[in-house]
Structure 1
Amino acid sequence: MACSPHNAVRTLQQCTCNNSAVIPDIQQATRARTAILTSFYVDDFLTSCESVTEAVELAENVDAILSAGQCTLRKWHSNDSQVMMRLSNEPSLSSYIFYSGEASILGLRLDALKDQLLFRVDICQRVEIPTKRCVLSEVARLFDPTGLLSPVIVNGKIFIQRLWSAGLSWDSPLPEDLCRDWLNYRSQLPELNQIRVEWWMGTIPRVQTSFHGFCDSSSHAYAAVIYAKTSNTNGSVRFTFLTARTKVAPLKTATIPRLDLRQCSFLHRHSRT
């Protein structure tokens, strides 16, 4: 049903509000309640802690609150082996599954041992001449919610626009020039499996964090990207890629300044989300 996503989130929130009192310590109950309300993404609970003890306490409290409403968590994962060891030894969590190594999070892959995000692109060998339907299907399989693969995916979107401009039907074989360009693009996609991105942004309560957005446009597409800058008290500075979004330029000819105005609005909209 269309309302199912809302109902799922609303149920989780109500469960948290109703059962946070099962934690005797008010401060720990408040922290667990806030974590549940702000750190759930679909059915994944993703958060960070500064110490092993804090992580174990939070896991136990979150589990207790949700279990009281029959919203039982099933699997735990951490980039710290001490957290995994202590959680596996907790009597209240003894029946849970504990993962080490690579896991799936929101369609991405996480190497917990190295604390890095990575991609798995599986391109099967095709012997038939590609069609527009085939191209759209394979470009759509490049799932990238964070925008880390934007420079690659936007080229796939531009190619799809070329197919529409050529007036091809869904199952007609691509002309020789378009077929050559597509096969060249497709042959390089497995190289995305070599990309690894640090998951941690370097944000802790004692550092100053600021966000910096950039945008640019061309006659083919326009894009926006946001970085996080963390400045520590010892003078060290760290920049982390947060997210990026791309959009193909319209077929109707537009000047670069007009596209610049569009992508400024584009950046503002995604910086708010």
Structure 2
Amino acid sequence: MMTQFNDELSAVAAKLRQSTVKIKSGGLGVGSGVIWQADGLIITNAHVATSQQPTVELSDGRVFAAVRSHFDPQQDLAVLKISATNLHPATIGNSDTLRVGELVLAVGNPLGDDGAFTMGMVHSNHQQAVIADLQLYPGNSGGCLADCLGRVVGINTMIVNGLAVAIPSNTVNRFLSGNHRWQLGVTLQSVVIDRHSLGLLVLSVLPGSVAETVGLQIGDVLIGVAGRLFTKPDDLAKYLHYSQESIPLQVLRGRQQFIVDIAKKNAVEAT
């Protein structure tokens, strides 16, 4: 029985490697991505795809110049497109059905090790993020988190207190459906605040952007809007998308909390 399990796990790992790509963007090292669709659409983290024309290397060694078609630092997601044939898109799973204790797998390119495979268990799944007890390293960002059947249920994005944090696959699908129109001119990365809420850490501020205008700084953490704390990585994008005029954005700077008003008309459209 154990031999059969090992064989099945090896087959799943091999399939996931075919759907995993290596991404080089400027001089910032190597990250990972997932072939989401057979037409060459690739999902990765925004903090991986910092260049508008990154390089993508497939598992078979082919290298392509990619075009970054969508970029949303608020959700830490980006879409790349390549023109290639014989691609192996991932099978996408339903992240909402993941259970605590369920076996999950990760494939990426940590520390330059192509297609490295690791596994662990779901630590928590509160829709805002899938948190798993597995080892990730630099280069895993943008790679897949999958269930034991090889269905991709998340995009690995960061490590918090030794636990892997992934953007749920259902959040990615909402992003692809259009919840990415508005942005503030900042690069953000999700950080877990507690089991019921998350924050968006400001990694950079674009000169001349609405974020700079209202005084946001690197190191600030965006935690909610009008008293409603963020629980999913795409919450901020939703508030911006559906708000009529402006939103009162709650910010944590050190131990100080304050509010900045963001006028929707001043937000720039994502590219």
Which interval holds the TM-score relative to the shorter structure?
under 0.3
> What TM-score do the two structures reach when normalised by structure 2?
0.28
Structure of larger gyration radius? 1
Higher strand share: 2
Asked which structure has the greater RCO (Cα within 8 Å, sep 6+), the reply is: 2
Higher helix share: 1
